[in-house]
Amino acid sequence: TQLLEQSPQFLSIQEGENLTVYCNSSSVFSSLQWYRQEPGEGPVLLVTVVTGGEVKKLKRLTFQFGDARKDSSLHITAAQPGDTGLYLCAGTYNFNKFYFGSGTKLNVKP
């Protein structure tokens, strides 16, 4: 059983469309991180959120941490082929050990 459930598992969209990826849990996390992984490489950190209700923006990517610190979302505006990859959320209770979700595989078609 995954501690963090991500949805959708797969997403295939056209360039220019918007999308949202969800990361949900029944547990409260001290902080939550989002990573992107491209084929043949390890995951790379996109953002860390630590405060309930926090919203962070990274160019066309908007990350939100739920008020109760149990869930998070990643919204991409006007997706581009370069956004293609596996998006992973990871939460921690004790600041050093992270639990990863199963990932959302995004394909943006030109």
Partner 1 sequence: DVKVTQSSRYLVKRTGEKVFLECVQDMDHENMFWYRQDPGLGLRLIYFSYDVKMKEKGDIPEGYSVSREKKERFSLILESASTNQTSMYLCASSLQGARGRQPQHFGDGTRLSIL
The neighbouring-strand residues paired with 75 are 20, 62
Residue appearing with tokens 């869930």? 71
Nearer to partner 1, 22 or 100 (CB): 100
Query: Closest approach of Cβ 17 to partner 1, in Å?
Result: 24
Residues 6 or more apart whose CB falls under 8 angstroms from that of 74 comprise: 20, 21, 23, 34, 46, 61, 62, 63, 87, 89
* Helix/strand/coil percentages in the chain, nearest 5: 5, 55, 45
User: At closest approach, how far in Å is the CB of 29 from partner 1?
Assistant: 8
Q: Are 2 and 101 in contact (CB under 8 A)?
A: yes
C-beta of 76 vs 90, nearer to partner 1: 90
Residue with the two structure tokens 């921690």: 92
The stretch near partner 1 (CB under 8 A) out of 56-64, 67-75, 77-85, 101-109 is 101-109
Q: Which of residues 64-93 bind partner 1 (CB under 8 A)?
A: 88, 90, 92
Residues 14-73 that bind partner 1 (CB under 8 A): 30-31, 33, 40-45, 48, 50
Q: Which residues bind partner 1 (CB under 8 A)?
A: 2, 4, 6, 9, 30-31, 33, 40-45, 48, 50, 88, 90, 92, 95-103
